[in-house]
Structure 1
Amino acid sequence: MTIPQRYSLVTLGVADVIASTAFYRAIGWVPSSHSAEGDVTFFTTAGGVLGLWKTGELAAEAGVSTMHASAPAFRAVALSINLESRSAVDDACAEWLAAGGAVSKAPTETEWGGYSGYVADPDGNLWELAHNPFWPLDERGLPVLG
């Protein structure tokens, strides 16, 4: 058997599911009816499902500790939203800030010929907002890599 080359669900550990849900609602995302208010929130996206779950519960489910003395603030993971233009990246960044998120790197031209910036949700989960002129987007807004 070969493991399918896809992801179905990304779960972000958050301090407060209600507050985090309010943030994602503020950027225009609509929770799924399969959510359990205050316990877990799911958002259906064009790619896969995004879940918000309390950090401690996610760690316990995975069998890992949430406290490491040497744990870096950077979790070595960033989710990305590819957008159709540079101006769409700037607009998305402004909306992210208005909703209560933060910018860790303002959008700028990249060395690979695109345009990208990094934002964080209130729990510090990183998202890249990017325009890659070499990756056209399909009807769902997903990159076509050829």
Structure 2
Amino acid sequence: MEQRISLITLGVDDLVRARRFYEDGLGWRPHDAPEGVVFYQLPGIAVALFGRADLAEDAHHPVDGRFSGITIAVNQRSEAEVDAVLEQAVAAGATLLKPAERVFWGGYSGYFADPDGHVWEVALNPAWTINEDGTLTM
């Protein structure tokens, strides 16, 4: 398998509420999609919102309500940007899980959960470069 990810799909309980969070709260712009799903183009990857029950049916895997151990990270160029993104997410309705702090691997990061409980890390890794187009170079 080629080493890449092209789409991350988040199962959501309420598609309208989830769209409000990502679009009105975080400022993301949706891409054209069939009814019942929303796509957002990011640099080099896309994120989809899809009903949680529909996703469970499609994947043939029940929703069990436990933290899956998967997080989604959005790296920033400075500590101030990390703080600003966390503040924006909380203002939009996210739950702050961990305020940003300097971490053992030499960076700075914090976590929030979106209204459906998906865990996002917002981080600065000084060893990585965030290019002008938003892509990451390790």
User: TM-score, normalised on structure 2?
Assistant: 0.94
SS at match of 1:49: strand
Q: Distance in 2 between matches of 1:33 and 1:81?
A: 23
Q: Percent identity?
A: 36
- CA deviations over 1:113-142 (Å, ceiling 9, x no partner): 100000110000010000011111122222
Q: Distance in 2 between matches of 1:64 and 1:112?
A: 34
Q: 1:139 aligns with which of 121, 132, 135?
A: 132
**1:11-26 equivalence runs, <5 A:** 11-25=9-23, 26=25
SS at match of 1:106: strand
Q: Which runs of 5+ in 1 are unaligned?
A: none
Computing the radius of gyration from Cα coordinates, the structure with the larger value is 1
User: TM-score, normalised on structure 1?
Assistant: 0.89
Calculate the aligned-residue CA RMSD, in Å. Answer: 1.2
Q: 1:63 aligns with which of 60, 65, 68?
A: 60
How many residues align? The count is: 137
Q: Distance in 2 between matches of 1:81 and 1:35?
A: 26
Q: Which runs of 5+ in 2 are unaligned?
A: none
SS at match of 1:127: strand
- CA deviations over 1:50-75 (Å, ceiling 9, x no partner): 000111110110111224xxx53x21
- Report deviation, 1:35: 4.9
**1:41 aligns to what?**
38
Q: 2:5 aligns with which of 4, 7, 12?
A: 7
Cα contact 1:82–1:132 (8 A) shared by 2: yes
- CA deviations over 1:25-57 (Å, ceiling 9, x no partner): 121101112252xx1111011131100011111
Cα contact 1:108–1:115 (8 A) shared by 2: yes
**1:31 aligns to what?**
30
Cα contact 1:109–1:115 (8 A) shared by 2: yes
Q: Distance in 2 between matches of 1:15 and 1:81?
A: 23
